[in-house]
Structure 1
Amino acid sequence: MGELVQHSPLCHNDKSSALLQFKDSFVIDKFASYGSSAYPKTASWAQGKNRDCCFWDGVKCDEDTRHVITLLLNSSCLHGSINSTSALFQLSQLHVLDLSNNDFNQSQIPFALADLSKLTYLDLELSGFFGLIPPSIGKLTMLTYLSLSRNKLNGQIPYVFGNLSRLTYLGLAGCSFSDFLVPLCKLTSTTHLYISENYHLNGQIPFFLPKLTQLNFLDISFNNLSGQIPPWFGNLTQLTSLLLEQNSLQDILPKSFSRLKNLEYLDLRLNHLSGTVDFDMFLGMKNLKQLQLSANKLSVVTTETNSSTNITSTIPQFDVLVLDSCNLRNFPGILSYQNNLMVLSLHGNQIQGKVPKWVLNISLEIMSGLLLSGNFLTGFDQPPLAVLPWVHLQIFDISYNILEGSLPIPPPSTVSYGAISNKLSGQVSLAFCNFSSISHINFGDNKLSGMLSDCLVNLSDSLLVLNLANNSFGGTMPKICTDGSQLRMIDLSYNKFEGRLPRSLRSCKLPSEYFQKWNSMKAFDATNSSYMKVDSNFITRTSAHSNSSLTLLYPMSIKITIKGVDRVFRKIQDVLVVIDFSNNMLEGEIPDSIGSLEGIQVLNLSNNILNGSIPSTLGSITLLESLDLSQNRLHGEIPPQLKHLNFLAIFNVSHNNLAGPIPQGNQFATFETSSYDGNLGLCGYPLATKCWNSESPKLRLPASEEKGDSGLPFDFDWITVLPGYASGLVVGIVGGNFVIVKKQFWFLKRQMKRKIRRGFRS
């Protein structure tokens, strides 16, 4: 038997004590970290027989000196404040420190970080830090990796930041910096630079970038940059990824881009670029995997690629190609040579006629997203398809074309199917009932007919959006919205359904206490407004080593009555705060809690069977411009508090059982008699009936109305029922889907971290 060797503990006692003090300065909170991989690493420290800190979770020591050199406490559910007196800064030999994805409770980044002068790797991303970056961070001159992204940091980058000349990775994304670029011009070793999502950062593209000749990855997306894309970008020939999306960049795309031969990812979407782009510019970038040019004012010109057996080795083989709204008039010929294409989006172009046969043969085993909506397509050049040929297709959208015939049947892998606003006819195939993962079904505005199968209930575990409006479906409505349903949007309006409403609609109750939870309606804020939408994320594999996230944003459309006029909003800006529950069968009283929604601009509860009195709390909704409570069974007086609604332009309480004096003055001096028709007990201007005394005549309700007996098959109690009525709240899905394909750079970043850490440990 070999001789037993007893190893002495590797950890110095003072370092072990410092780690335990650091641990005790925080509480474990599962909400302090995001993601399924988060867990409290410090919870196991100093437990059991193993009190050697060098073997604690997240701790590494130098085998010779016994000093702690690595502390990886990322995603460790740490919650609490941290300052310069923390025991952490006693670990003076640290080389690697990762505290990312915790919650340090809006602490400032401690000045004492400068005491960790041997740090080469520092990650504080997504950790709840607040305020200014301390100048002392400029003393960490050994740093090669630094990420401060996604904290509430603001102000300017200290000038001494330029001392970090060894940095190869710098993350400053998702903060609130407005002017921080000057010191960065000295970081000539940087290969990865993230400055995205600093929405206060404006002006032109930073002037110092040409000096960073080693850049591989540059992300300055989602800022407020303007002006032209400078031609000197063509000098950054080491670039493999360039992300400029969601800025206000203008003018033409410089021809110097053609010199970026190493580019793999190029994203220019959501800017104001204009002019003509020759697609041949990109054909020399044979490494290009993802190209996104959508949501600009570009006209992309394509030429037929010469046929050659070796052409696939000389042109890019795209994973993702997004050319939405690029004024294309045909399918680019280069598509016929694509073998690896997973996502193809050509939405909003001018492509006419039938989909060519050769398009149906592109990347049959790989294609997961095909979006051809918003063109002038009439059908498929190949005979009618039983099932679409792409065996792993997840997203298929042919909305807003002029397609005729029956619905193409997608493969069982389908997650989202859009065919809105075409001329498709016939019945919906039972094949749709077998798709256990489908989340979006959008068949509105077609000529589809027949009865819908109750098998749709099988989709309730996954289905988020169901839009069958404006067709000719008949028979009874399918059983949808069952208990546990994930549905967010349902639209079955403008069909020929008959019979009783399914009891499954009980799962769509709208309890009055919901008004207390609608916080976004309690205030008005027009800053950073966008459009209301339902979004879904899909992860698609783009290569053997990385994935892409495809996000579909379905802008909501709605038909509502505003100021007496029916209006259809194809897209709804989220600062438009509207409640329209008209033309349903809602019963019960209007809850007082509705007055807490002070951001509402339009409130329409007309054509229901509501009773009780008008809540005086409506007078708190000072932004209200239109109030329609007509065609109900409301009684009592019109609350005088409504005189405070100085923006009220439309007021309609006609055909109720209201009594007493009409409030006088302010906006009430502008309403006509039609606003009060059918209320025999009302008096005062503008009616001819004068109020002779303070006693307001009261109308007694019939007994059935006092009891709220509607005679319906079941009680409603604030249930919103959309289908089967000629108008009312019509929530639909429109075309013009925004397609966002974002490289999962966190995956690459994680791989890079591992590589760096392995280098530090070796």
Structure 2
Amino acid sequence: MGSLRELHLGFVDLSRQRQGEGGEWCSALARYTPNLRVLSMPFCELHGPICAPFAALRSLSVIDLQHNRLTGPFPEFIAGLPFSYNDLHGWVPPAIFQHKGLVTIDLHQIPGVSGTLPNFSADSNLENLLIGNTNFSGAIPTSVGNLKSLKKLGLGAQGFAGDLPSSIGHLKSLTSLEVSGLGVVGPMPPWITNLTSLEVLEFSRCGLHGPVSSSICELPNLTILSLHTCGFSGEIPPCILNLSQLYALLLHSNNFRGKVELNSLWKLPTLSHLKLSNNKLNVIDGEDNSPLVSFPDIKFLELASCNITKFPNVLKRLDGIYALDLSNNQIHGAVPQWA
């Protein structure tokens, strides 16, 4: 198959391949498909390290080997190739982030890999940079603002530290921004409102603190707003109820104060996940709406430590709920029959 350009074998069980350095699959591809550009083999039960001859496949632009059982250190010869990994470990060469042909770097959910982010050049073609739940560390470079084609930026690694560079606010094509890092400090960055294409915004397990400005409501396309396990405080901006596309609102484990009326959630028709636990909130039913008003089909509702004194009546309208947490409240008396 010397002319083969694309190979898609996802979910094909290749666990009985012959053993060896990288296994039969790796050496066969390197030998017989020299012009391969797209290789997609997720969930194939591949095992062992990546074989050295694999580096000869210089035409590759997409490689997806997620959810296999690949082992060994991160192979340095991969530095010139775009790659998507899951079960490797070791230091990721900085050169992989500077490869001019890369469109996607997806290393998320590989806690064994580590590294630092290099300076990015303005001629980069990166559209997706995802290194969440890895062991990356250090500062997020200002040059990340050079990645003008970037659509998804996932920097959810606990080792990141310092101020978030304001240059991220120049990435007008971003649809997803996720940042973690216990050493990432400062207030909610004001440049967030420049990212009007955002659909996913997550700041989690980090040192960001202070109030959340109502200007966040100027992101009308948000489907996921996740500001959890940080130091955010003050009242939750009421205008969040105007973000009618919200699917998940995750604000747990902060220092938010004030009153939240559950009956006002009918303004979020697509809401499925709501987490307000472990703040300093007072969650109440609020003013009852007419039964004719449709209510979102909430599946996951977490209201632990929300100063609730009785079973919320809003639960009567959540027939499809999967998970409910009302722990550490002041609910007392008999459990209602309807519950």
TM-score scaled by structure 1?
0.37
Aligned with residue 199 of structure 1, among 182, 187, 196: 182
Please state if 1:77 is matched with 2:62: no
Q: 1:131, 1:154 within 8 Å by CA — same for their partners in 2?
A: yes
Which residue in the other structure is 1:350 paired with?
Answer: 330
CA distance in 2, matches of 1:51, 1:347: 59
CA distance in 2, matches of 1:59, 1:316: 37
Aligned with residue 86 of structure 2, among 95, 101, 110: 101
CA distance in 2, matches of 1:122, 1:140: 16
- The SS at the match of 1:303 is coil
Please state if 1:258 is matched with 2:235: no
1:417-471 deviation line (CA, Å, top 9, x unaligned): xxxxxxxxxxxxxxxxxxxxxxxxxxxxxxxxxxxxxxxxxxxxxxxxxxxxxxx
Which residue in the other structure is 2:204 paired with?
Answer: 221
Q: 2:131, 2:157 within 8 Å by CA — same for their partners in 1?
A: no
After superposition, where does 1:160-309 map in structure 2 within 5 Å?
160-179=143-162, 180-196=164-180, 198-303=181-286, 305-308=288-291
- The SS at the match of 2:183 is coil
- The SS at the match of 1:101 is coil
| Structure 1 pair 317–178 and aligned structure 2 pair: CA distance change class (3 A) | same
Which residue in the other structure is 2:45 paired with?
Answer: none
Which residue in the other structure is 1:110 paired with?
Answer: 94
1:140-162 deviation line (CA, Å, top 9, x unaligned): 53221111223333332232221
CA distance in 2, matches of 1:215, 1:342: 28
Please state if 1:51 is matched with 2:32: yes
Please state if 1:339 is matched with 2:316: no
| Structure 1 pair 79–274 and aligned structure 2 pair: CA distance change class (3 A) | same
RMSD over aligned CA atoms reads 3.2
- The SS at the match of 1:68 is coil
Aligned with residue 9 of structure 1, among 2, 16, 19: 2
Alpha-carbon shift at residue 284 of structure 1 (Å): 0.6
1:341-360 deviation line (CA, Å, top 9, x unaligned): 1112222222232112212x
| Structure 1 pair 347–80 and aligned structure 2 pair: CA distance change class (3 A) | closer
| Structure 1 pair 208–358 and aligned structure 2 pair: CA distance change class (3 A) | same
**Rg larger in structure:** 1
Alpha-carbon shift at residue 210 of structure 1 (Å): 0.9
CA distance in 1, matches of 2:104, 2:125: 9
| Structure 1 pair 104–11 and aligned structure 2 pair: CA distance change class (3 A) | farther
CA distance in 1, matches of 2:71, 2:126: 24
After superposition, where does 1:663-682 map in structure 2 within 5 Å?
none
Aligned with residue 310 of structure 2, among 330, 334, 342: 330
Identity rate of aligned residues, in percent? 26
Alpha-carbon shift at residue 130 of structure 1 (Å): 3.6
| Structure 1 pair 192–304 and aligned structure 2 pair: CA distance change class (3 A) | same
Aligned with residue 320 of structure 1, among 300, 320, 333: 300
| Structure 1 pair 231–352 and aligned structure 2 pair: CA distance change class (3 A) | same
Alpha-carbon shift at residue 87 of structure 1 (Å): 6.5
Alpha-carbon shift at residue 53 of structure 1 (Å): 4.2
Amino acid at match of 1:193: L
- The SS at the match of 1:185 is helix
CA distance in 2, matches of 1:129, 1:322: 32
1:178-237 deviation line (CA, Å, top 9, x unaligned): 1243221111111111113x1111221222211111111111111122111211111112
| Structure 1 pair 59–332 and aligned structure 2 pair: CA distance change class (3 A) | closer
Alpha-carbon shift at residue 102 of structure 1 (Å): 3.9
Alpha-carbon shift at residue 127 of structure 1 (Å): 6.5
CA distance in 2, matches of 1:212, 1:257: 16
CA distance in 1, matches of 2:289, 2:142: 54
Amino acid at match of 1:10: S
| Structure 1 pair 139–72 and aligned structure 2 pair: CA distance change class (3 A) | farther
CA distance in 2, matches of 1:207, 1:221: 17
Q: 2:169, 2:192 within 8 Å by CA — same for their partners in 1?
A: yes
Amino acid at match of 1:352: H
Q: 1:59, 1:68 within 8 Å by CA — same for their partners in 2?
A: no
More relative contact order in 1 or in 2 (CA 8 Å, sep 6+)?
Answer: 2
TM-score scaled by structure 2?
0.79
1:297-334 deviation line (CA, Å, top 9, x unaligned): 111121353453x43xx221210111222222222222
Q: 2:38, 2:61 within 8 Å by CA — same for their partners in 1?
A: no
After superposition, where does 1:649-688 map in structure 2 within 5 Å?
none
CA distance in 2, matches of 1:259, 1:304: 18
CA distance in 1, matches of 2:148, 2:286: 46
| Structure 1 pair 176–158 and aligned structure 2 pair: CA distance change class (3 A) | same
Which residue in the other structure is 1:68 paired with?
Answer: 60
- The SS at the match of 1:219 is strand
1:99-122 deviation line (CA, Å, top 9, x unaligned): 322435224x333653x3222222
- The SS at the match of 2:239 is helix
Q: 1:78, 1:103 within 8 Å by CA — same for their partners in 2?
A: yes
| Structure 2 residues without counterparts, runs of 5 or longer | 6-12, 42-57
CA distance in 2, matches of 1:247, 1:344: 23
Alpha-carbon shift at residue 177 of structure 1 (Å): 1.6
Q: 1:46, 1:53 within 8 Å by CA — same for their partners in 2?
A: no
CA distance in 2, matches of 1:263, 1:68: 37
CA distance in 1, matches of 2:78, 2:232: 47
Figure out how many residues of one structure are paired with residues of the other and give that number: 309
CA distance in 2, matches of 1:113, 1:102: 19
Q: 2:142, 2:167 within 8 Å by CA — same for their partners in 1?
A: yes
